[in-house]
Amino acid sequence: MKFTLSWLRTHLDTEQTLDALCAALNRVGLEVEGVENRGAALAPFRTARILSAEQHPNADRLRVCRVDTGLGEPVQVVCGAPNARAGISVIFAPPGTHIPGLDITIKSGEIRGEKSDGMLCSLRELGLGTEHDGIAELPDNTTPGQSYSNYAGLDDPVIEVAITPNRGDALSVRGIARDLAAAGMGHLRPWLAETVEGLFPSPVRWENRFPEACPWMLGRTVRGVRNGPSPSWLQERLLAVGLRPISALVDITNFFAFDLGRPLHVFDAGKIAGDALVIRRGDGETLRALDGKDRVADAEDCVIADAAGVQSLAGLMGGEATGCTAETTDVFVECALFDPVRIALSGRRHGISSDARQRFERGVDQALPVAALEAATRMIQELCGGEASEVVSAGAEPEWRRDAKLRFSRIRDLGGLDVPPDEAVRALEHLGFAVRTRDEASVTVAVPSWRNDIAAPVVLAPRPAGDAAQHSDTLADAVESVRAVEPEADLIEEVLRLRGLDSVPPVPLPSLSPVPLPSFTARQTRNAVARRVLASRGLAECIGFSFTARDNAARFGDTPDSLRLLNPIAADLDQMRPTPLATLAEAAARNLARGQQAPALFEIGAGFDQTGQRTVAAGLRIGHAPRHPGRAPAPASLWDAKADLLAVLAALGVPAEALSVTADAPDHYHPGRSGVVRQGPKIVLGRFGELHPALVSAMDLGGPAVAFELFLDAVADGKKRRKAAPNLSPLQPVRRDFAFLVGRDVTAEAVLRAARGADRALIAGVSLFDVYEGEKLEPGMRSLAIEVVFQPRDQTLTEAQLEAASARVVAAVGKATGAVLR
């Protein structure tokens, strides 16, 4: 919100300085964002008159001028302007003045042997124009010695304040003046609109078919007007706040939008088709707005239409077809109330950010339309002439009147300041609140019409009768408390604002715990751990779209129509991906096509299926590892993918003993070289393996390609308990190898699990180190070799104890899998 100091003083009777007013605005919550004061830089410049201008004796293009500065004896100035001559009024800069247009500071001196005590200036040198043909010439009747900034009206600072969304009343010069007057910075000047007598019935009437969007509208016709440029005082005010003067009729409506916060609109009555303006919903019609853009009004838009169609987007912008021009002689002045929410939504849909929208969506004074229409009519007659019709209206003034209660003790409880009750009541009265009742503990006030931000009390439902009343007492008391607190908090804010927001003591929020609570949720922590582990294992992170081409998504899972995009950003991005592996494979293919030999990528992102969305950590390795001296490059294998997956699970605290691997990976994996990692029989944590050869060929992935997918949402949150110190034994472990003959249908996992359970107190670890299938074994059989680590705790194992423990391992494995010792 911008306004000039002189404009503010039309509503505020004050002798306070600009700095004091700005400080007060900041104190009451209207933050000053900037002050533009062109007059401050031009303060040294004075009006003057050239008494004589003689040719310089030593320079053809210079003149020696005697100048009356109005400040004493004439001074001598050497000037090179071609229009420097006796008798003209000019702008004089005394020595020591900074010239903003040249960025220099002048001083007394001699020019070609002649003394010069100052400078005669052009507007360009003052930074006020572009002309450079000579010095500026002022009117002949200009009195020497005046401050030029004051003479030219440049000493009127422009103040810009930030307005919070709840303070629609502060989007007016009068509203800001009201706050400053209440803060003790002056007195609010009385304002009363003089009634204009209607001399004839208005040929244009209102018809309201959309009362939900526009509860009340007023208007009147003014005929016989002369539309032309507005007077200089009005143009200067509009220019100061960033508005371009257009014509007197349009400038008047813009003036009242800033002066009173009351948007208005004028229609050229001669261009209105029919005898009525209709408030209704849009119907898909196209309107050429005043900004020259075409906009289509739909059923959610409130429009003003005549018999020819839509002529205005109500509360946002008028249309070109009924706009006022220099030929306009009859106008219809519109003054209406519009629903703030509908205005805001329509403004967003159409991309309109007008001064009218800014005010309507924050709420305007609901009792002002009658007075505003009279004031606008009076100014139209003063500036453009004409005679006014009777006022026509539709709808009625809304029931805005409401009361709010303030308990004096709550100012201290909620605001932290001890404000005497008399001071609190006086502050509210200065802001326009009228006292209804008052006692020692509280005051009830009537909320003024311009304060839409002061909340209406909560309506308390009647208490039920009978047994239910017993259960409603607590709820009723709670609602009664809310009923008072919501508007009461608004009143407390008003009292504190006038005391000064900078006087409210800062109070830290109560500490919930001596130790700061974690800032990450369990899900965020899992994602961060997985990201760190995978990056440390040499995989580069990708961030891809959550959608891909339908045919690509089909390679990695189902593609139901429910997951197809109706309006994709590109034709080949029309399906939600079943797994991040789908987009990783595309990224890897692009890297391979550009010469990257062994891409290793991962992504933590969303995968989608018919059950919903889940977070997946997916990784992909392709090709051979980099070559090193003395070592052949190794191709990526399913064991690499499994190791990546298990490393993340280990970092997330999932015990390896709780995991099992089954051979039922989905179709995008190699059927014999893949697996599914489970925790228990039902929980699937992930899957890994080589990608299916057909998929590798279809996507041009080249050499061996292995991948894994870890379902992070399936990983249980770790228990929040302190871990005990590890129970390390001082005795050396003993390692024994066992080779078992088993059927090919027996998994290594089953053998490892059985061996681990043979003696949990003594066995510290079991691992597989060899698998053999060959002609030396019977058909259908294979050899699995495992290493078992025995860790004694109390004493060194004897040979007999070691043999007994080994026998228990053989027996447990044989019983569980049918294996025999090789």
What does the chain come to in residues?
822
Give the architecture (CATH level 2) of 734-821.
2-Layer Sandwich (3.30)
CATH for 404-462+474-503 (3.10.310.30, 3.30.300.160, 3.30.56.10, 3.30.300.30): 3.30.56.10
- Helix (H) or strand (E) holding 89, with range, is strand 89-93
Look at residue 790 and give its three-state secondary structure: strand
* Residue 811 half-sphere exposure toward CB, CA atoms < 13 A: 8
The closest alpha carbon to 691, from 579, 577, 792, belongs to: 579
- What confidence tier does 36 reach under pLDDT thresholds 50, 70, 90? confident
Q: Is the pLDDT of residue 597 over 90?
A: no
Q: Is the pLDDT of residue 722 over 80?
A: no
Q: Is the pLDDT of residue 471 over 80?
A: no
pLDDT of residue 244: 86
Give the architecture (CATH level 2) of 2-37+157-188.
2-Layer Sandwich (3.30)
Q: What is the pLDDT of residues 605-659, one digit of tens each?
A: 999 999 899 999 999 999 887 777 877 778 889 999 999 999 999 999 898 878 8
pLDDT of residue 468: 43
- What is the assigned CATH class of domain 40-151? mainly beta
pTM check: above 0.75? no
User: 453 labelled as ligand-binding?
Assistant: yes
Q: Kindly list the domain boundaries of the chain, sorted by start residue.
A: 2-37+157-188, 40-151, 205-395, 404-462+474-503, 522-626+633-714, 734-821
The closest alpha carbon to 656, from 645, 646, 670, belongs to: 646
User: 133 labelled as ligand-binding?
Assistant: no
Q: What is the pLDDT of residues 133-150, one digit of tens each?
A: 789 999 888 999 999 988
Domains 2-37+157-188 and 404-462+474-503 are alike in CATH topology: yes
Residues 12 and 4: beta-carbon distance below 8 Å: no
- Determine phi and psi for 237, rounding to 5 degrees: -65, -40
Average pLDDT, the chain: 90
Instruction: Please state the CATH superfamily assignment of the domain spanning residues 205-395 in this structure.
Output: Phenylalanyl-trna Synthetase, Chain B, domain 3 (3.50.40.10)
Instruction: Please state the CATH superfamily assignment of the domain spanning residues 522-626+633-714 in this structure.
Output: Bira Bifunctional Protein; Domain 2 (3.30.930.10)
User: 737 labelled as ligand-binding?
Assistant: no
- What confidence tier does 681 reach under pLDDT thresholds 50, 70, 90? confident
Where b means 16+ CB within 10 Å and e means fewer, 388-413 reads bbebbbbbebeebeeebbbbbebbee
CA of 367: how far to CAs of 178, 207, 215, 370, 464, in Å? 17, 21, 13, 7, 38
User: 494 labelled as ligand-binding?
Assistant: yes
Q: What is the pLDDT of residues 739-760, one digit of tens each?
A: 999 998 888 888 998 999 999 8
